[in-house]
Structure 1
Amino acid sequence: MIDQIQERALGTRGLLIGGTEVPAASGRTTDDINPVTGEVYLTVPAAGAEDVERAVAAAHAAFPGWAATAPSTRRALLEKAADLLEERADEFTGIMLQETAGTRTWAAFNIRMSAELLRQAATMATRPSGALLATDVPGEWSMAVRSPAGVVAAFVPWNGPLILCARAVAVALATGNPVVIRPSEDAPVTSGFFLADVLSAAGVPDGVVNVVTNDRADAPGVVEALIADDRVTRVNFTGSTPVGRIVGRLAGEHLKPVILELGGKNPILVLDDADPEYAASGVTLAKFMNSGQICMCVDRVIVQNGVADAFVRAFVAKVAALGQGDPDRPDTLVGPLVNTRAAERVAGLVADAVEKGAEVLFGGGPADGAFYPATVLDKVTPDMRIYHEEVFGPVATIFRVDTVDEAVDLANDTEYGLSSAVFTENATRGLDVARRLRHGATHVNDQSVADEPQAPVGGVKNSGYGHFGSEWGAEFFTETRWVTVADRHSEYPV
């Protein structure tokens, strides 16, 4: 099976509809490009609205059988899929290196976290699915019962492809819902096909997991067709805020419940009682993991002046020692970005900041193909693009403040509110600051990319709404119904 999957991944894939790989109805294809070499890694179908209809039909047909599958069976299948993910770690790593130039470190994290997500979601299959309610009617049982909602549309990005695919579908599957995955154009295997293959190998029935790929130019039509289909009952989307606005609008027009996990301008606050070496290690990881291409990566490093000089020295030294370049090396943390457009955009943010007075403490300069070096900027001001825009690349910006109030105000001075962190040796002080930060997650004495499968993941403000996570996702992917059963005849006034 592994050799078969590797052979397919190196050539062409078809749309996965009802357990069978098929071409797009139009016969059109689109290329998956290796960002380092610029060569075609994989060819996939360029789906249109008619292909979306076929995929949703297959999922809808599979819904009654999957919803009726014994909860213990659904749980066992997801647990087996988690085991298979771990067995196929090397295979996934090889594909990620080719498809997104993700580093070996990032690939290993994707496998580990995704397996944990599947195992945690599996527990939701056998959790209680309702509650006995109080009632004033004699002889009546009154119950709130949760039932699977139906076909789920899952939109998955390229940056944490396996993690975000698992997060999009695992709880949906555990609670009895089939899914249609629309993976990223930049990562159709790692953000879609790979997990679908593993779930199939684990024994998930045909039609329960479907994958629809598209050309970038056709994305608006494919997205709209998937959300508009009456048989789709839930929508979950992880990606940029501009696209999230479109998805949210479409879901609203069609009265579809939606989870949106969007961009961030994430701050880390380093208070004047923090350990500068420890804080520098945490910030380095939170900024440069996957070359800064994680929605929870830190953008703003806000440091109180009492510790600023010591922190900056330690931080720059750690950045200078980072493994950079070849994503195949086990010590590389900063590899290429997902494509040359992304690297050129980051270079443009840095150039704009430098032109307006920012100081480069490390790195900087132009992009080199899809690669941009780890960079640290000081003296960033609000007139610079990088002050407001999500970087989504390996560039840290440092802000020096005198007081905690200034640090909190600066951390909240953004339209985003996804993740944040506070470094301090006083947990009570850190908790007080955490209460004042307007972000979906705040980690005291840890870094902003911290993640656990059982925790709620979601943002506030323009970072989205709704939560991924097993407990919270189970409610989203089910319909709550009121059912009563009386053990006697009621007295009616007619």
Structure 2
Amino acid sequence: MSEQRRGQPITVPHVIAGQEYFEGELLRREDPSDPSAVVSVCHDAPDQLVVRAVQVSREAQREWCRVRPAERIERVRRAIPFIENRLEDWAVRVALEVGKPYAAARAEGAEVLEIVRQYTEYASVPGAFEDQREEDPSGLSNESVLRPYGVFGVITPFNYPIVQAAGPAVAALIAGNGVVVKTSHDGPWSGHAVYELCEAMELPSGLVNVVHGGDGPGRSLVASDIDGICFTGSVAVGKSILRDFDSGAYPRPVIAEMGGKNPVIVTDTADLEEAADGIVFSAFDLSGQKCSALSRVLVTPLAYDRLVELVEDRVRDLRTGDPVDADVFSGPVVSGAAVERYAHLLASAREEGFAIEAGKAQEGGYFVPATVVSGVPATHRLATVEHFLPFLTISKVSTFEEALAAANDTDMGLTAGIYTGDEAEAREFLDRIEAGCVDVNVPGHATTGWWPGPQTFGGWKASGTTGKQTLGKWYFQLFGRQQARKLPARLEHLLQH
């Protein structure tokens, strides 16, 4: 990683049908640990290039959709050894561009590996592409099959620049679609890894294309004649895409994972040491820049003072710094603008007289300390707005019922957790919490910690659009639509089965 920092920045091209393009305004991605250094360079894709990427993918998709599902699955599986050989390279990219500590950066590549393995396994199960039907009483032959939409755009965030592009791209390809990936301008080199991954699958030329840049190329992709969009990002942008995709001649699918204002409830009967461990990790891993990150704690009265003390003790020991340093817990935030937002939040908390405790932060980069603010009313804006920063509020609530009501009093519903020694409270929490991913007394993870295989990941309400979650067996099916077919028995050979 140090050698890469001393070298020339990587210039990342747009790629359409295998041809590299360097069109558009030059964008430089600085090292968030040392903003004086440039890690990678890309170009802000002009509208016409984005439109061409969609057109080329559509032409290639006409061939790809005729390929049998079993062969599509086999092509996608060809990427597995490629990923295994690229884990170290990808970790360097993510650590340098995003500021993610190396272990977490490497884990992102490992998650891509698991996604490819699992999605291809799910798609290989008999009936994955065909609905089970009874024999037609008329004697005609029939089937109900999953067919691709056409071309999906994939718009990715900075915090998981590889996996949040790879997961949708892999699922879309298995379902028979083409793909145009628009990477985050804060992680173009990392996001470009997904194009390289797809190259290893030996797909038809132009089926998968990649463009880079800021918000402009993303808007161009949404405004194009793309057949569907997979988006990971803010609620506001996701809702805007939904409106755009509902306003045309017919609605088009939007598969979106959006924000979260994620709570944990801690009751009087909880193991407070265990709760404090889970709270600190879930709030400050990746400097709070995760849609699943814990950002508010709701505590009943007898547990409140001791829990605040335990959390503050742990936060004081947290160190934020350069991700190449093995001693740091978390790296920098993504940009100077994020630093300014943090400063504004901190000033607001001080003006209102709330108690503030912070960890240690290195000087020189986009470093801000892990910060806990206690005494904040559960309805206060600091406790109800998503900040996407290492900024945690702790609120005292009168009862478990009040805590549960406050936890659900948000338009978002991604992750949530509880620490309690009362099984009735735990059962009530599971029955009533409005979130897609929930934890009960999980050591080390108050609201986060999902991993491919044992768990799926996705949100309710404004945190997601489909009700089906990534890493699950139904996810790739979101990229297809059913078609019921009926033919005379003499033409049965034309059906897929």
TM-score (norm 1): 0.89
Of 471, 474, 484, 2:473 maps to 471
Residue 239 of structure 2 aligns to which amino acid in structure 1? R
Contact 2:436 2:459 in 1 (8 A): yes
The change in CA–CA distance for 1:73 and 1:137 in structure 2 (over 3 A counts) is closer
The CA distance in 1 between the partners of 2:422 and 2:69, in whole Å, is: 45
Pairing 1:55-70 to 2, within 5 Å after superposition: 55-70=53-68
Distance 2:148 2:6 in 1: 36
Aligned partner letter, 2:481: E
Q: Contact 1:347/1:367 (CA < 8 Å) preserved in 2?
A: no
Q: 2:265 & 2:177 partners in 1: Cα distance?
A: 41
Alignment of 1:195-274 (within 5 A): 195-214=194-213, 216=214, 219-220=215-216, 222-230=217-225, 232-254=226-248, 255-274=251-270
1:319-398 equivalent positions in 2, closer than 5 A = 319-363=315-359, 369-381=365-377, 384-398=380-394
Secondary structure in 2 matching 1:88: helix
Check whether the contact 1:265–1:389 (CA below 8 A) recurs between aligned residues: yes
Deviations 1:215-263 (A, max 9, x none): x3xx24x334323333x21211110112112211111123211112111
**Deviation of residue 46 (structure 1)?**
1.6
Aligned twin of 1:485: 487
Q: Equivalent residue of 2:448, what SS?
A: coil
- Out of 70, 92, 95, the residue aligned to residue 94 of structure 1 is 92
Q: Distance in 2 between matches of 1:355 and 1:104?
A: 37
Q: Is the 8 A contact 1:132 1:141 kept in 2?
A: no
| Helix, strand or coil at the partner of 1:207 | coil
Partners of 1:196 and 1:8 in 2: how far apart?
23
Contact kept? 2:192, 2:210, Cα under 8 Å: yes
Match of 2:494 in 1: none
Relative to structure 1, the CA distance from residue 395 to residue 105 in structure 2 (aligned partners, 3 Å threshold; closer, same or farther) is farther
Q: CA 1:417/1:81 → structure 2, altered by over 3 Å: closer, same or farther? A: same
Deviation (angstroms), 1:292: 0.6
1:418 matched to which residue of 2?
A: 414
Aligned to 2:151: 151
- Residue by residue over 1:33-81, the C-alpha shift from the partner in whole angstroms, topping out at 9 and shown as x without a partner, is 2222223322212212110121112211221332233434433443342
The aligned amino acid for 2:480 is T
Structure 2 counterparts to residues 88-237 of structure 1, below 5 A = 88-127=86-125, 128=127, 129-134=129-134, 137-190=137-190, 192-214=191-213, 216=214, 219-220=215-216, 222-230=217-225, 232-237=226-231
1:368-402 superposed Cα distances (whole Å, 9 cap, x missing partner): 65111011110113675422321211111111223
Write the deviation string for residues 115-163 of structure 1: whole angstroms up to 9, x where unpaired. Answer: 1112111224423211242466421233211112211111100012222
Q: Secondary structure at the match of 2:65?
A: helix
Give the letter for the 1:227 counterpart: V
Cα separation, 1, equivalents of 2:403 and 2:378: 15
Query: Equivalent residue for 2:451?
Result: 452
Q: CA RMSD in A?
A: 2.7
Distance 1:403 1:367, change over 3 A: farther
Paired residue type of 1:235: I
Q: Residues 79-129 of structure 1, C-alpha deviation per residue, up to 9 Å, x if partnerless?
A: 342443233222122212221111113202212222111211122442321
Q: Which has the higher mean CA deviation after the structures are superposed, 332-341 or 420-429?
A: 420-429
Is the contact between residue 358 and residue 369 of structure 2 (CA under 8 Å) also seen in structure 1? no
Q: Distance in 2 between matches of 1:243 and 1:138?
A: 50
Deviation for aligned residue 1:483: 0.6
| Aligned residues of 2:321 and 2:362 also touching (Cα < 8 A) | no
Q: Structure 2 counterpart of 1:418, which letter?
A: L
Distance 2:488 2:415 in 1: 49
> Which residue identity lines up with residue 205 of structure 2 in the other structure?
D
Specify the code of the residue in structure 2 equivalent to 1:360.
I
Q: CA deviation at 1:367?
A: 9.2
Counterpart secondary structure, 1:68: coil
CA distance 1:8–1:54, shift in 2 (3 Å):
farther
Structure 2: segments with no counterpart, 5+ residues: 492-497
Between the aligned partners of 2:7 and 2:202, the Cα distance in structure 1 is 20
Name the residue aligned to 2:48: 50
> Per the alignment, in what secondary structure is the counterpart of residue 113 of structure 2?
helix
CA contact (8 A) 2:57 2:206 kept: yes
Question: Structure 1 pair 75/135, CA: closer, same or farther in 2 (3 Å)?
Answer: closer
CA distance in 2, matches of 1:7, 1:194: 21
Preserved contact between residue 115 and residue 167 of structure 2 (Cα < 8 Å): yes
Alpha-carbon distance in structure 1 between the residues aligned to 2:364 and 2:461: 35
